[in-house]
């Protein structure tokens, strides 16, 4: 749907891409974008959910802000639709990978897979408090 670029005070460029959500299979769309990042060996940090991809070459405050805004916007959209379209059952029946790709989002930090990024996520969370 669109792309916006933001700049951290240190000059780091943060890109936010918004997509039309495929409600028939939101997890697959997110996974395809994640696999494309990995196949292209895209360096840096990325947050992906079915509606947004946020990317930056390094960790910076602007990346954290944009990830927070993208996830909040996605969760508001999801909350409205889960209640009205009965997706809560589908969520409960999903495995953890499907939940991450289709509902909560995936973060790739410094090229590390989501499983490897947990210690880095904790560091980011502490820096935001």
Give the span between the Cα atoms of 15 and 5, in whole angstroms. Answer: 5
DSSP for 39-93 reads HTT--SEEEE-SSEEEEESS--HHHHHHHHHHHHHHHHHHHHHHHHHTHHHHHHH
- Average pLDDT, rounded, for the chain: 81
Question: What is the value of pTM for the model shown?
Answer: 0.80
Which range of 28-32, 51-55, 85-89, 105-109 scores highest in mean pLDDT? It is: 51-55
φ, ψ of residue 112 in degrees (nearest 5):
-80, 140
Q: How crowded is residue 40: how many other Cβ atoms within 10 Å of its Cβ?
A: 8
User: What's the total number of domains in the chain?
Assistant: 1
pLDDT digits (tens, 9 = 90+) for 49-86: 999 999 999 989 999 999 999 999 998 888 887 665 55
Domain that residue 108 falls in = 2-128
For residue 106, what is the enclosing H or E element? strand 106-108
């Amino acid at each position: 749907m669109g792309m916006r670029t933001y700049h951290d005070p240190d000059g780091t460029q943060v890109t936010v891409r918004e997509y039309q959500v495929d409600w028939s299979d939101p997890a697959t769309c997110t996974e395809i974008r994640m696999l494309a990042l990995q196949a292209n060996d895209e360096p840096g940090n990325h947050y992906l959910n079915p509606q947004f991809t946020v990317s930056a070459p390094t960790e910076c405050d602007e990346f954290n802000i944009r990830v927070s805004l993208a996830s909040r916007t996605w969760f508001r959209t999801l909350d409205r639709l889960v209640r009205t379209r009965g997706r809560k059952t589908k969520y409960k029946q999903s495995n953890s990978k499907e939940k991450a790709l289709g509902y909560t989002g995936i973060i790739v930090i410094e090229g590390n897979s989501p499983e490897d990024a947990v210690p880095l996520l904790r560091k980011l969370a502490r820096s935001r408090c």
